[in-house]
Amino acid sequence: MTVNLQDEIIALEMDLLKPEIRRSPSALSRLISDDFLEFGGSGRSFGKEEVLSRLPQETPPTFSARDFTLRELSGTVVQLLYKSTMLKAGAEQTSYSLRSTLWQRKGENWQMLFHQGTLCPPFDDE
């Protein structure tokens, strides 16, 4: 695995946290696989269609992400693990989560295949 691959996957993940990407169905569609599945911190699961209809309508939260680890699972699938904080619009309290994302290379591009955010206590160094 090259550092360039890690940087590329982190950049794609961070793109999906940006308000302008979250508001754009076409950008989301390009980054998310047709067979995408998410297990959210709410305990609900979502497919691509739910994400495309829900995210552009939401007021995007403020995210921070750190402590990335990339694992190469095959020649075309990688897993990105990281910690994140999220502050929803109008909320007073930050939520903390451990996140895992599977990215799959499809042709020349990477697409998100799976994502899970697991709520956790605040990080020790916060």
| 0.75 exceeded by pTM | yes
Q: Which tops the pLDDT comparison, 41 or 78?
A: 78
Q: Give the C-alpha separation, 68 to 84, whole Å.
A: 10
Q: Which of 114, 89, 97, 94 is nearest to 37 (CA)?
A: 114
Q: Give the C-alpha separation, 13 to 4, whole Å.
A: 14
Q: What is the pLDDT of residue 92?
A: 85
The share of the chain scoring above pLDDT 70, in percent, equals: 97
Which two tokens mark 58?
């939401």
Strand 109-120 relative to strand 32-39: parallel, antiparallel, unpaired? parallel
| Position 88 confidence tier, pLDDT thresholds 50, 70, 90 | confident
Residue 2 has pLDDT above 60, yes or no: no
- What is the pLDDT averaged over residues 54-78? 94
Domains of the chain: 3-120 (3.10.450.50)
- What is the pLDDT averaged over residues 110-125? 93
Q: Which of 72, 65, 67 is nearest to 104 (CA)?
A: 72
Residue 30 has pLDDT above 90, yes or no: yes
| Position 109 confidence tier, pLDDT thresholds 50, 70, 90 | very high
The share of the chain scoring above pLDDT 90, in percent, equals: 84
Strand partners, 47: 37
Q: What is the pLDDT of residue 79?
A: 98
DSSP string, 94-124: -EEEEEEEEEEEETTEEEEEEEEEEEEPPPT
With beta carbons less than 8 A apart as the criterion, state whether 41 and 121 touch.
Answer: no
